[in-house]
Structure formats: structure tokens, C-alpha cells
Chains A and B, each alone.
Chain A
Amino acid sequence: AQSVTQLGSHVSVSEGALVLLRCNYSSSVPPYLFWYVQYPNQGLQLLLKYTSAATLVKGINGFEAEFKKSETSFHLTKPSAHMSDAAEYFCAGGTGFQKLVFGTGTRLLVSP
């Protein structure tokens, strides 16, 4: 069965530091993968999506993620954190019929 694991429920970085949020998936079939961000009291906003066209996916707000099949990983990175990046981030995967399986989320804290 498809599952998505996010390592670390909280990640703290300083403003300007590298952001690395980890996501691993399990599936016998190449999945399609997403990263979403959720700000307080809001819905989910799509950051980026893996479509198998390229292993390095660039998203909005300077985020990118690299699909590594050998490691079954899809980690999210941003070279330099900004205060406005503080939010909860969800990795999600699916194999069809729009049914997404979500990770448990990682709350990103950015300190000045």
C-alpha cells in the first residue's frame, strides 16, 4: 500500500539558512508526489509536483524537491529561509483516482 513518511514533526531554522524537509514514500509503482504548504487557518497550497518528467522539480517561493528512486525520497529544500516560510508542510503521494496519501506534516519554524 502507498504510504508517505515525513521525518521530523518540527524543523527549526534561522532566517537565511537552508531548509530541508524530508519525505520518503513506499510504493511498488512509480508514484506521483506533491508538496503542499498550509498556513494557519488556511487550506493547502500546492508548492510543487513530481510528474516523472524531471527528477528535480522547481516550485513556487524558491522551493524545489528532488525525486530519488533509489532512496524512495522526495525531500523539499530551499536555499535561504524567509520568515514568511513558517508554516506546516505536507508531502503527499498517490497512484490514481485523485486519492492522495499524506504524510503527518512538518512544521517549519523560522527564527530571526
Chain B
Amino acid sequence: KAGVTQTPRYLIKTRGQQVTLSCSPISGHRSVSWYQQTPGQGLQFLFEYFSETQRNKGNFPGRFSGRQFSNSRSEMNVSTLELGDSALYLCASSLSAGSENTIYFGEGSWLTVV
């Protein structure tokens, strides 16, 4: 059974550009969440989607957005990139909506903003 797949794994963008990251959850998983990991702030929750609806959002500016498709795949977008957006972006999936569902993470997408 394939795990959570994220693409691209590495990318370099210029300040002011936008970026789209993709996530394919584990087959059968309907909940997808995104996290940002930086050396200074650690792991921070961005947002979570279930059945194409955003159910929860972290404290990030509106430049960070996401969506989920009917096949549960998800994308996140960051517009007007800033140097501080350089981070590892992790996608996670779980089976459904229950709080006790195990959350599995992907390998992440490394974003460098120059």
C-alpha cells in the first residue's frame, strides 16, 4: 500500500512568485492536512480538508491556501512568496474524521525561496 506521496520533493522559487504543492493521500484516506516545518517555528498546522471541505485552519496569512479534490488528492498554494516561506511542507492523511485516527505523513516538499 503506497504511503502519502508529495510532489515535487524539492523546488526553488524566487521571491514574489507563487508555488503549488501536491499531495496524494493513502488510498482510502479522506482527510488531508498540511504542516509547515521551519528551524525557527518548528512544525505548524496549516489547514485540513475532509471531503473537499476545509474544516480547520492554522494561523497563516491568506497567501497560503489549499484545496481538496473529489479523489481526496490535495494541493496547497502559496502566493507572493517571501523568504520566510522557505520550509519543509508536510502533507498528512488519515482515514476519516475521527480524532483517534492515525495520521500518516509524507516525505515532504522542500521549498527554498531566493
Residues of A within 8 A of B (CB): 32, 34, 36, 41-46, 49, 51-52, 90, 92, 94-105
B52 at the interface (CB under 8 A from A): no
Residue contact A99 to B33, C-beta cutoff 8 Å: yes
- Contact for A99 among B48, B90, B105, B110, CB less than 8 A: B48
Residue contact B42 to A96, C-beta cutoff 8 Å: no
Residue contact B94 to A98, C-beta cutoff 8 Å: yes
Can you list 19 contacts pairing A with B, beta carbon distance less than 8 Å? A32-B100, A42-B107, A43-B105, A43-B107, A44-B92, A46-B102, A46-B103, A95-B99, A97-B55, A97-B97, A98-B50, A98-B56, A98-B92, A98-B103, A100-B33, A100-B43, A100-B92, A102-B44, A104-B42
Give how many B residues have a beta carbon under 8 Å from the other chain's beta carbons: 29
- List the A residue with the shortest CB-CB distance to B57: A99
Residues of B within 8 A of A (CB): 4, 6, 31, 33, 35, 42-45, 48, 50, 55-56, 58, 90, 92, 94, 97, 99-108, 110
- Contact residues of B: prevailing secondary structure: strand
A48 to B: closest C-beta gap in Å? 10
Residue contact B42 to A99, C-beta cutoff 8 Å: no
Assuming A43-B90, A45-B105, A46-B102, is B33 touching A98 (CB within 8 A)? yes
